[in-house]
Structure 1
Amino acid sequence: MAHSESSTGKNLFLRGLICIVIGLIIWFSPIPAGVNVTAWHLLAIFAATIAGFILQPLPIGATAVIACTALVLFHVLKPGEALAGFSNTTIWLIVSAFMFAEGFIKTGLGKRIAYKLLSRFGSSTLRVAYVMSAADFIIAPFTPSNTARGGGIIFPIVRSICSAIGSEPGQEQNKRTGAFLIFSAYCAVITSACIFLTGASNNALAASLSQTLFHVTISWTDWFLACIVPGIILSIFTPWLLYKLINPELKATPKTRQLAIDNLKEMGPMSTAEKILCVIFIAALLLWATSCIHGINSAFIALLGLSAMLVTRILTWDDVLNQKGAWDVLMWMGVLVNMAAYLAKLGLMKALAVHISSNMCNISWLMMLIILSIIYVYLHYALASNSAHIMALFGAFSTILIAAGATALGVLIIFGVLANSCSFLTHYGCGVTPIFFGAGYMPQGQWWKIGFIVSTLHIIVWLAIGLPWMNLIGFFK
């Protein structure tokens, strides 16, 4: 045990050392023409921070605290400038949405929605897959954590269904049926994350970087309108494709409906808290959808919903304080987005765009988008976090396309979405993936094989259908 702990400590130390070396190499490298010293030193700390987020010698929140401190200690930014990122409204939108997720879990409303759908439509294996997809779609706008939504609501239900139909990991009986239900539910979680800005915290990171780096505001409605058509197509086609690929032994699952009915009986009548949360949930959706009319910022609509939950005692202040995921996101995203903002303010992004434009080959931006999208997705084999993917690649890839003449809004949404689509590639693709993979219904080789197919399907749909759709509604004009 002591040897194992010592080995782990050395490994983490080595990872931390690599991050520091990356920062030092950039810090002391010759500064390119057109870039000032402050911007270059900020880039050094920024790059070291991203390396820290990817290699994780420390939790990413701790890495962000160290980076923020370094900015001031090394006289790169003033104290007020280093802390300015915590006023970013998109970050507060995600923090508030985390609280909605807690409300769905605490009241049981998320499970009730899923069981209600299953009790009506869960008579076959394929229908169960579609029901879980529909349940996740309903819950996703208010659960910006795939881990909270997938691990806290969807996975326990689908795992119970597997047991009810006699499918257990490590056993041959109905093995493919369990594998199909588990992987299909996982795909539903990731696809819903693509559709809603508040469906995943990395979406908010993409939106924040869009504002700070390119001065492009992506509203909740913009993201939803751009993604709903290709997202619905993927939601419909993916379970059918998995059904054909995995070929579950059981086609009919009458026990699923009975399981759902039994669980609904156990839950009892809908509680007052659930009813109130439904009203708040619908009101927030309507306010987000009509933001162009009333002009209320999306973050403050979410904060209004949080206020309503606190006033009605659906959540207590202790519940808010205990939402570690929300405060962790606030910390690391506030620091990272702020550094990106100052890289833009100090002219580094402009210098990069000028350099890329001057070296651009005579390739249309559309062809470049297709090529870069494919590279962007499959580079995720080297990453274990969607947020790390955004941090490492989003700004650079977007800069190349925008410099080539592509409309910024469409490009930024596409790259934001594809940072979710790449999650399928590995069994460590994002935070929630190990939960579904760890159920033990599918070996690693099969997971990677089917994940590659599903990720490729996403690329095809987002480019072949998503791009024309976004062009039709004016996002590429």
Structure 2
Amino acid sequence: MEKENSLQTTFKKSLICVIIGLIIWFIPIPNGVNPQAWHLLAIFVATIAGFILQPLSIGAVSIIACTALVIFHVLKAGEALAGFSNTIIWLIVSAFMFAEGFVKTGLGNRIAYQLLAKFGSSSLRVAYVMSVADFMIAPFTPSNTARGGGIIFPIVNSICSAIGAAPNKDTNHRTAAFFMFSSYCAVITSACIFLTGASNNALAATLSNTLFGVTITWTDWFIACIVPGIILSVLTPLLLYKIINPELKYTPETKEMAKEKLTKMGAMSSAEKTLCLIFLSALFLWATGPIHGIDSAFIALLGLSAMLAAHIIDWNDVLNQKGAWDVLIWMGILVNMAAYLAKLGLMNYFAKTVGASLDGISWIITLIVLSVVYVYAHYGLASNSAHIMALFGTFASILIVAGAPALGILIIFGVLANSCSFLTHYGCGVTPIFFGANYISQGKWWKIGFLISTIHIIVWLLIGLPWMKLVGFF
């Protein structure tokens, strides 16, 4: 019975996606629009609907869409598969392999425990330590779920146990809630700061290039986001400390727990030391990209090659990184469709149409309004990537036509697709893990999440954009 209900639900959701595509396909094509572009738009929008409703996994939806492009003669076979040569996608795939190295060697845990053993003497310090630990790991873990769920959450959960907290106990319950929510915020804020901190960042960067001809490098993203990102990293734990008001102000148990964990881990292994060297070398090469001119993706592939050669990970580990290959499939297909929408002139048509209706309106006012809509639209979404595919290109086009600086706007909308994750307990893939610890009620999560998301909008607009102008981005 349960299987039948599941099949019925899948059929209904699939039917909705198909109907959406058919409606667009058969409605009259606007004057000045290429029929091929219009039919591509129909399949593209139907695919985005599939991302949101998820009758199947997004990888499966993408494969079906790619097949439809060729079957219905919208694109040629070679054109439909061209997206797999995109270097930013391969950057993210390689970064997933770095994440495997951090987990397999235990280096991610060691970094966090070392920081806790030295600085985890108070509840506020613990929050900052977890933020710093996540910040250090984030450049090489483009999956919030892998980083937050696989490294940060287990450590925070151990800290909660060390102070005697449990979901069904009143003992230090608010302290555990503070640790959980502040650590979750750290994961999302780190995702904002690094291009390789979340796969949806790479999607935004790729769309920026394919739709608007704007290249965003790893260094560009980092320079643009580091100052507002650090401000948010400092401000958020303080704010949560005031709101949640943890019972424990001092937590010597945390330091002792971290020391015990480090003792069990033993001395740093040769694999961890080698990974540290590879990690620092890759960061250096990314930061100096404008000097040596090596593409960021190939720096990441160089790091992956070094990890394989040093036996930090093996080829089976690479094959087992399902998240990486999933990203390669759906992002390669979706970004390619977006690229052809631009090549076939649909984005230009849209820009001219919208531009005519915005004549005389300040792009700053438009940015404020669209940023609010862009973020709070996530109440109806559970995927950052679906959020970007649905809204990023459209909203950015409106602002660029209105005269906004392209690079700054594209990075802002890329970042805000992470910031909206705070809103709900299903905001992105990692959110249910922290919410599922059962230290914060759904109502309280939504209230605090709304506040943090709002603060993100304010900081990214009032500090982020001026900072980007100061460093010469526009």
Provide Cα deviations, 1:285-329, integer angstroms capped at 9, x if missing partner: 000000000000000000000000000000100000000000000
**Alignment correspondent of 1:117:** 115
Q: Write the distance in 2 (CA, Å) between the matches of 1:379 and 1:36.
A: 30
Aligned position for 1:243:
241
1:203 maps to 201
1:286 aligns to 2:299 (yes or no): no
Contact 2:366 2:399 in 1 (8 A): yes
Q: Quote the Cα distance in structure 2 between the aligned partners of 1:300 and 1:339.
A: 24
Which of 457, 460, 463 does residue 462 from structure 1 map onto? 460
Runs of 5+ consecutive residues of structure 2 not aligned to the other structure: none
Summarize the alignment of residues 46-85 of structure 1 with structure 2, pairs less than 5 Å apart: 46-85=44-83
Q: Which amino acid is 1:474 matched to? A: G
1:328 aligns with 2:331: no
Cα distance in 1 between the residues matched to 2:301 and 2:358: 44
Aligned equivalent of 1:27: 25
Q: CA deviation at 1:85?
A: 0.1
5 Å-filtered alignment, 1:13-412, equals: 13-412=11-410
Instruction: Tell me the secondary structure at the aligned position of residue 144 of structure 1.
Output: coil
Name the SS for the 2:421 alignment partner: helix
TM-align CA RMSD: 0.6
3-state DSSP of counterpart to 1:248: coil
Q: Which amino acid aligns with 1:383?
A: L
In 2: Cα distance, 1:221 partner to 1:373 partner: 24
Shift of 1:8: 2.4
Residue 30 of structure 1 aligns to a residue whose secondary structure is coil
CA distance in 2, matches of 1:474, 1:169: 49
1:359, distance to aligned residue in structure 2 (A) = 1.3
Counterpart residue identity of residue 88, structure 2: T
Cα distance in 1 between the residues matched to 2:274 and 2:447? 44
**Residues 333-367 of structure 1 deviation map (CA, whole Å, 9 limit, x = unaligned):** 00000000000000000000010111114211111
In the comparison of the two structures, how many residue pairs are matched? 474
Query: Separation in 1 of the partners of 2:366 and 2:424?
Result: 26
Is the Cα contact below 8 Å between 2:116 and 2:126 reproduced in 1? yes
CA contact (8 A) 2:359 2:402 kept: no
Residue 449 of structure 1, aligned match among 447, 450, 454:
447
Alignment partners' CA distance in 1, 2:169 and 2:14 = 42
Once residues 384 and 171 of structure 1 are traced to their aligned partners in structure 2, the CA distance between those partners, rounded to angstroms, is 30
User: What is the identity, as a one-letter code, of the residue corresponding to 1:148?
Assistant: A
Could you tell me how far apart the structure 2 residues matched to 1:28 and 1:390 are? 26
Matches of 1:472 and 1:368 in 2, distance apart? 22
Q: For residues 32 and 117 of structure 2, what CA distance do their matches in structure 1 show? A: 64
Could you say what secondary structure the match of 1:429 adopts?
coil
- Segments of 5+ residues of structure 1 without an aligned counterpart are none
Provide the secondary structure at the position in 1 that maps to 2:142: coil
CA offsets 1:46-89 (integer angstroms, 9 cap, x no match): 00000001100000000010000000000000000000000000
2:469 alignment partner, one of 465, 471, 477? 471
Q: Secondary structure at the match of 1:405?
A: coil
Alpha-carbon distance in 2 for matches of 1:360, 1:278: 51
Output the CA distance in 2 between the equivalents of 1:170 and 1:96. 41
C-alpha distance in 2 between matches for 1:360 and 1:417: 25
CA distance in 2, matches of 1:65, 1:11: 20
CA–CA separation in structure 2 for the residues paired with 1:78 and 1:464:
45
Q: Once the 2 structures are TM-superposed, how far is the Cα of residue 134 of structure 1 from its aligned partner? A: 0.2
Normalising by the residue count of structure 1, what TM-score does the alignment of the two structures yield?
0.99
User: What's the % identity of the aligned pairs?
Assistant: 74
Can you list the C-alpha shifts for 1:189-243, whole angstroms capped at 9, x where unaligned?
0000000000000000000000000010000000000000000000000000000
